[in-house]
Amino acid sequence: GAVVSQHPSWVICKSGTSVKIECRSLDFQATTMFWYRQFPKQSLMLMATSNEGSKATYEQGVEKDKFLINHASLTLSTLTVTSAHPEDSSFYICSAVPAGPSYEQYFGPGTRLTVT
């Protein structure tokens, strides 16, 4: 149980275009989902916290207009990278927390974004 999927697993896009990444909790409802970014050989950096039905909370330094997050249902959150540039190339990982009191996050397999 507690499976989280991400789609796509990898994507290549041209500079200036937008790309959407989906994060789904497959067998549980997630009131909260998190989006992380990971550069090569580095740890995970929290970008934003997404709560179902409300606006996402962004970490300091993360541009909310560039990284649009939508959590429209209890099983789906999306991250849209708008007007992507090569410096946005990274590994993006989402996680989900089951409804109810829980400190444990379940992680998706990640999405590799390459902007050319």
Partner 1 sequence: AQSVTQPDIHITVSEGASLELRCNYSYGATPYLFWYVQSPGQGLQLLLKYFSGDTLVQGIKGFEAEFKRSQSSFNLRKPSVHWSDAAEYFCAVAAPGKLSFGAGTTVTVRA
Q: Rounded to an integer, what is the distance from CA 65 to the centroid of its chain?
A: 15
Q: In the structure encoding, which two tokens stand for residue 70, read together?
A: 């939508």
CA-CA distances (angstroms) from residue 86 to 12, 43, 47, 99, 103?
10, 20, 18, 36, 34
Q: Is 14 in the site for partner 1 (CB under 8 A)?
A: no
Within positions 92 to 111, which residues make up the interface with partner 1, using CB under 8 A? 93, 95, 103-105, 107-110
89 binds partner 1 (CB under 8 A): no
Place of tokens 């409802």: 29
Instruction: State the nearest-atom distance from the C-beta of 105 to partner 1, in Å.
Output: 6
Q: Which residue in the set 13, 44, 68, 74 belongs to the binding site for partner 1 (CB under 8 A)?
A: 44
Told to check if 46 binds partner 1 by CB under 8 A, we report: yes
